[in-house]
């Protein structure tokens, strides 16, 4: 191997040399190759050798970006915990000093208790500075500083990724979520997105994947059943669900439901919703009351088979229902049992794009 050359470049060079040798043999029987013809041969050879490597690299970069997003969320949560702990220790020290004294025994300025809480801003903005809060404020999601869901964001907020507390209290685990602040009044927390132009995320996955969530928040993703359960299980907020659909010809439709929530994992993340409205047709009410099913965990109403295996997706299947939004992308909307469809809108033809999003009603 030539020193400093990668295996891919060596392979490409060998292909080019072979092509040129073949061209020289043909010169005795045909007219000499032009410069454009030689350039075209070289280009095709390089594309043939390099394209698989480029695709593999893009896949690894996307996977790394997704891991960095999760790491950023965990670092933010850990930093907040450490700062609060340090703040509590400083308050204990101050509490042992005479009233009205500073660190040197002289009168000091009045000081409020509490620590900072930092949230993730959209990708187009820098992270906000920490804000001082009282202990009561740290437990209150309604103060506009801690965001239980995207409806708590300030009115001027842009669509993007934010750190959400889900359950509304400082003891609840935080998760990075995508907020749609533009569609139908905004304030939507997006829980699923499919897009044929950004395909690459595999959706025929098992129970633990659907419970934890997977994918990339700026492309295709499933936010996670645990996250949705924590968000919708609170008693002080009732959520509505909006399902947006788009065919390959550009036709769009939506279905909207009230009283949306899912139960805990112990109950199979059972689906609840009522009162369909929209123009896509009701493709989900028939699935209400059903547990979530995945490959390897069949909880549908089909006694002689598995809807998750038949349709190659995780979903709230009845037997098997009128929707399959976690199915496989079809080529240009091709009908397929394992496709991405909403029967009352597109029959069994695969859709180009879907989004599922929720907000307090």
pLDDT tens string 295-343: 999 999 998 899 999 999 999 999 898 999 999 998 778 888 899 999 9
pLDDT bucket at 140, cuts 50 / 70 / 90: very low
For residue 125, give the DSSP letter.
Answer: S
Q: Verify that 200 and 327 share a domain, yes or no.
A: yes
117 occurs within a structural domain = no
C-alpha 358/C-alpha 256 separation (Å) is 10
Q: Verify that 186 and 309 share a domain, yes or no.
A: yes
121 occurs within a structural domain = no
118 occurs within a structural domain = no
Q: Verify that 165 and 29 share a domain, yes or no.
A: no
Please give the distance of CA 334 from its chain centroid, rounded to a whole number: 25
Q: Verify that 85 and 151 share a domain, yes or no.
A: no
Total length of the chain? 361
C-alpha 143/C-alpha 128 separation (Å) is 16
C-alpha 115/C-alpha 84 separation (Å) is 5
Total domains in the fold of the chain: 2
Interval 29-45 mean pLDDT: 68
Provide the sign of the torsion angle of the four alpha carbons 215, 219, 220, 226, taken in this order.
Answer: positive
For residue 121, give the DSSP letter.
Answer: P
Residue 85: which domain range?
1-90
What pLDDT, in 10s, does the model give residues 179-191? 999 999 999 999 9
Res 248 pLDDT > 90: yes
Q: Verify that 316 and 179 share a domain, yes or no.
A: yes
C-alpha 114/C-alpha 207 separation (Å) is 40
Residue 25, φ and ψ in degrees, nearest 5? -65, -30
Q: Verify that 212 and 359 share a domain, yes or no.
A: yes
Res 28 pLDDT > 70: no
**Are 213 and 224 contacting, i.e. CB atoms less than 8 angstroms apart?**
yes
Largest CA distance in the chain: 104
Q: Per the structure block, which two tokens stand in for 212?
A: 């934890």
162 occurs within a structural domain = yes
Mark which of 56, 90, 124 sits at the end of a domain.
90
């Amino acid at each position: 191997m030539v020193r400093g050359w990668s295996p891919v470049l060596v392979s490409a060079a060998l292909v080019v040399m072979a092509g040129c040798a073949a061209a020289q043999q043909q010169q005795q029987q045909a007219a000499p190759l032009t410069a454009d013809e030689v350039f075209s041969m070289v280009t095709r050879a390089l594309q043939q050798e390099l394209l698989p490597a480029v695709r593999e690299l893009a896949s690894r970069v996307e996977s790394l970006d997704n891991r960095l997003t999760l790491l950023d969320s965990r670092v933010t949560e850990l930093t907040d915990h450490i700062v609060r702990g340090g703040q509590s220790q400083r308050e204990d020290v101050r509490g042992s000093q005479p009233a009205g004294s500073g660190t040197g025994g002289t009168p000091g300025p009045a000081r409020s208790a509490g620590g900072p809480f930092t949230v993730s801003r959209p990708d187009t903005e820098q992270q906000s500075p920490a804000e001082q809060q009282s202990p009561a404020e740290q437990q209150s999601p309604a103060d506009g500083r801690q965001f239980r869901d995207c409806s708590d964001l300030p009115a001027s907020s842009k669509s993007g990724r934010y750190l959400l507390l889900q359950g509304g209290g400082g003891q609840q685990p935080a998760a990075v979520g995508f907020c749609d602040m533009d569609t139908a009044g905004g304030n939507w927390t997006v829980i699923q997105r499919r897009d044929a132009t950004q395909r690459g995320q595999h959706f025929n996955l098992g129970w633990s994947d659907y419970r934890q969530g997977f994918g990339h928040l700026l492309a295709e993703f499933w936010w996670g059943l645990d996250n949705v359960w924590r968000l919708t299980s609170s008693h002080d907020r009732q959520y509505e669900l909006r399902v947006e659909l788009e065919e390959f010809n550009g036709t769009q439709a939506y279905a909207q439901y009230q009283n949306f929530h899912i139960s805990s994992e112990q109950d199979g993340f059972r689906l609840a919703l009522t009162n369909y409205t929209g123009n896509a047709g009701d493709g989900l009410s028939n699935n209400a009351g059903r547990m979530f099913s995945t490959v390897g965990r069949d909880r549908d109403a089909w006694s002689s088979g598995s809807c998750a295996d038949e349709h190659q997706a995780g979903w709230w299947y009845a037997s098997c229902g009128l929707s399959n939004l976690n199915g496989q992308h079809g080529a240009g909307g091709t009908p397929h049992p394992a496709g991405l469809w909403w029967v009352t809108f597109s029959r069994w033809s695969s859709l180009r794009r879907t989004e599922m999003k929720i907000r307090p009603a």
